[in-house]
Amino acid sequence: MELTKQQFTEDLRKSLTQNFAKTTKNANDQEIYMSLARVIKGYYSKIWLEDNEYKDKTAAKQTYYFSIEFMPGRMLKSNLLNLGLLQTVRDALADIGSDLDKISENEQDMAIGNGGLGRLASCFMDSLASTGLPGNGNGIRYKYGLFKQRIIDGYQVELPDVWLTNGNPWEVRRSDKAVEVKFGGNVWMEEIGHGRYTPHFENQETILAVPYDTAMVGYENKTVNNLCLWRAELPEGSEVIHPSLDYMQDVDTLSAVLYPDDSNYSGRLLRLKQEYFFVSAGLQRIVNHYLNLGLPLPRIPEHVAVHINDTHPALCIPEFMRILIDEHEMSWESAWQLTVKTMSYTNHTIMAEAMEKWSEEMMKSLLPRIYQIIVEIDNRFAKEYIPKVGPSLVHNTRIVKDGKVHMANLSIIGSHSTNGVAKIHSDLLKDVVLHDFYIIFPERFNNKTNGIAERRWIQIANEELSGLIDETIGKSWRKDLNDLTVLKAFQDNDEILNKFEAVKFHDKERLAKLILEKNGITVNPNAIFDVQVKRLHAYKRQLLNLLHIMKLYFDIKDGNAENMVPRVFIFGAKAAPSYQYAKAIIKAINEVANMINSDTDVEDKLKVVFLENYNVSLAEQIIPSANVGEQISLASTEASGTSNMKFMLNGALTIGTLDGANIEIKDAVGDENIFIFGMNKDDVLEYYTNGRYQSTEIYNSNPILKRILNAFVDGSIPNIENEGREIFDSMTVYNDEYFVLRDFDSYVETQKRLEDYYRDRHAWNKSCLLNIANAARFSSDRTVREYAEQIWQINPR
């Protein structure tokens, strides 16, 4: 939008006076942040209103992306960038003696997600709006987001994330759009003539769902979509005359906390309640809005697409059926057709421990009517498909069996599209994990490789690199990332390559400063910055990284590291609070770090840094300064990964396995510009089928590994008596579930090759440039366009 510095400064002054009775002279940064946010909200609200009117007028089809997690991070700079005001506001603030970056730090990260899945949802929100696609989010407004992590004595300690205390200036509470969601009680069917039945209910618990809307502002266009987050409240009025304390507490806890488990199924009643809560509220709002436009219900799939982000919102399927059948007297057959047409589903993992399977008992008592509908869906599925494909395939794919409701099965059977999040992952779904479904519904399966919102991950996170790209190839890449390919023309231009190297060096200096402030460790910006940032999981193999660090440490101690290129290993990772093993790894990383960083033999050849409380805004500081991104999951376990794409876009080289999107990154950049090691998925599957892996054989025959692993239990690494034993046993007694020892040698060799390559500044810088130049296909703009065309059938404005 058009705005002068003067106009903006005037608006900010007004806002400060109106909201805080302050001036630009005596306001503190928090007050400036709040006032500034309100001014910005004022700017985009006109566009928001206008786009809502446009959407209603045209009734064009819209997508509703249901996700139990979102991770937008900070909104201030993102909104400024997308409105085209970043520079104007930065300059205007500087004029009044303020600094936008400092002001921005007063915004609490909106961290209502765990990791990749939640961040993907937010990248999609940005990309939907920025490509002009009508697509909205639907989720939960958790009072407490993902816990804050402190490291105390090397241990992870969790603190509550109280992000709403100062208020959230971006959200709009819409009490007029509140709906009721009902739980428990008894349900029975009564005949209403002509063989039709209708459900009757008693003793249900009613909870009020109130939506809080947040504008998702598109990049320099007219689109503003909505992120709708639901809060549980006590319904006012007649139904509940004397609410019991228990009931009031129930209501309060429902939307209080995000479950802190990533890629892990918890099975708790409250979680099921959360799932139904935001699903029911979201669908009610959608149907109400649709009917208010005067459109006929049987045509709803022409106007509405509902996306189920992993199985957490899978109850969309029976709930949509309930609304159509019970509330709008539609026949089962018609309702089912509409449901399958409206729904689509993304699977984000093949790991068994993440698969949601709710106990029938729990489902029946918490959601009696929904349970009935699920059983009916299941019976009809069996009846229809046993004659077509035989009893054994149907048994394998049934929704209700062994006393459990299988949510992935429900999602596939009740939707028209099931996609994985990278080629290898989608292939594994078709060929292995969901093979039986693939035989029954081959046309439903497809791939949508993940992507990232380049606006946040380069334009905001790396302004200096963005500026250099502008200078080199012009600014058009900011609108269309494909234009980055123009950079290829400069791959042998040393003058340009040196400029890119200089920017990376500045980024590293900035991170070095942060590391000194936060951890008190001095790191050398000339060292290789080697970064692994992601949730802590055994399958992601942070331990493999740590074992290699120990190898380098012993090399130094043995005097075998004369010519070693100095390295700084940087970690950021949260462990689920109840995930013992992951917490043991965090402790081990921190103790190894202390040991190495305080050893005077090491000098600045090797440093290890664990940055606490990894989150979106910390990622924005870390990723630009990486030389190397670690993507070292066991092949076949990481569905896609998305930090791999962020590193690439910021000119870091990947060291990784043939897993997830690493494979497509390799295809995009070519073998010379990525460091691949370890087993591939077929090697892994082969071990699974022949069952012949013996980690102790490797332990006993590899003296380097033996020495490293022994250091975990013989006191060489101090202060990890219990954790060291747990890790040692996992590698030996428990047979190394994720083949860390099996891939160790290959990893070490590849790290060595990487180090040698780094010495060749021209070759290295060229590879970095080629990573940036080929990053466009990992833009989430590309991803959402594919969803829009191939799954949702929605069009850009």
| Residues at the site binding ligand GPV, with contacts judged by CB under 6 A | 114-117, 120, 262-263, 310, 348-349, 354, 421, 450, 638-642, 660
DSSP strand pairing (606-610 vs 567-572):
parallel
- Of 348, 357, 508, 605, which is the active-site residue? 348
Torsion sign across C-alpha atoms 492, 493, 495, 499: negative
Q: At what angle do helices 494-519 and 761-773 cross, to 10 degrees?
A: 90
349/462 with CB nearer ligand GPV: 349
Q: Residue 297's closest CA among 335, 326, 333, 332?
A: 335
Minimum CB separation of residue 661 from ligand GPV in Å reads 7
650/765 with CB nearer ligand GPV: 650
H-type alpha helices, 323-462:
332-342, 360-366, 368-389, 391-397, 407-413, 423-428, 435-440, 454
Q: What secondary structure does DSSP assign to 507-518, as a single string?
A: HHHHHHHHHHHH
Q: What secondary structure does DSSP assign to 640-683, as a single string?
A: --SHHHHHHHTT-EEEE-S-TTHHHHHHHH-GGGSEE-S--HHH
Burial class (CB in 10 A: 0-12, 13-18, 19+), 383: exposed
Q: Is 540 a catalytic residue?
A: yes
Minimum CB separation of residue 298 from ligand GPV in Å reads 34
Q: Is 196 a catalytic residue?
A: no
d(C-alpha 779, C-alpha 784), whole Å: 9
Minimum CB separation of residue 187 from ligand GPV in Å reads 31
Q: How distant, in Å, are the alpha carbons of 571, 612, 622 from that of 609?
A: 6, 9, 12
Cβ within 8 Å of residue 457, ≥6 positions away: 620, 623, 645, 646, 649, 650
d(C-alpha 621, C-alpha 45), whole Å: 30
DSSP annotation of 434: T
What SS3 class is residue 239?
A: coil
d(C-alpha 569, C-alpha 583), whole Å: 19
Minimum CB separation of residue 17 from ligand GPV in Å reads 44
d(C-alpha 359, C-alpha 345), whole Å: 22
Cβ within 8 Å of residue 105, ≥6 positions away: 29
Residue whose structure tokens are 């082969």: 686
Contact status, residue 4 vs residue 88, Cβ threshold 8 Å: yes
Minimum CB separation of residue 311 from ligand GPV in Å reads 8
DSSP annotation of 633: P
Q: Residue 372's closest CA among 187, 508, 218, 238?
A: 187
Q: Is 401 a catalytic residue?
A: no
Q: Which residue is nearest to ligand GPV (CB)?
A: 116
d(C-alpha 167, C-alpha 173), whole Å: 12
Tokens (6 digits) for 754: 């990487």
44/66 with CB nearer ligand GPV: 66
Q: Is 535 a catalytic residue?
A: yes
Tokens (6 digits) for 26: 């005596």
Give me the numbers of helices (H) and strands (E) for the chain, helices first please: 31, 25
d(C-alpha 342, C-alpha 294), whole Å: 19
Minimum CB separation of residue 115 from ligand GPV in Å reads 4
d(C-alpha 737, C-alpha 226), whole Å: 43
262/319 with CB nearer ligand GPV: 262
d(C-alpha 675, C-alpha 747), whole Å: 9
Torsion sign across C-alpha atoms 466, 470, 475, 481: negative
Q: Residue 38's closest CA among 2, 76, 64?
A: 76
351/375 with CB nearer ligand GPV: 351
Ranges assigned E (strand) in 517-619:
528-533, 567-572, 606-610
Q: HSE on the CB side for 486, CA within 13 Å?
A: 15
Q: What amino acid positions are annotated as catalytic residues?
A: 348, 534-535, 540, 642, 646
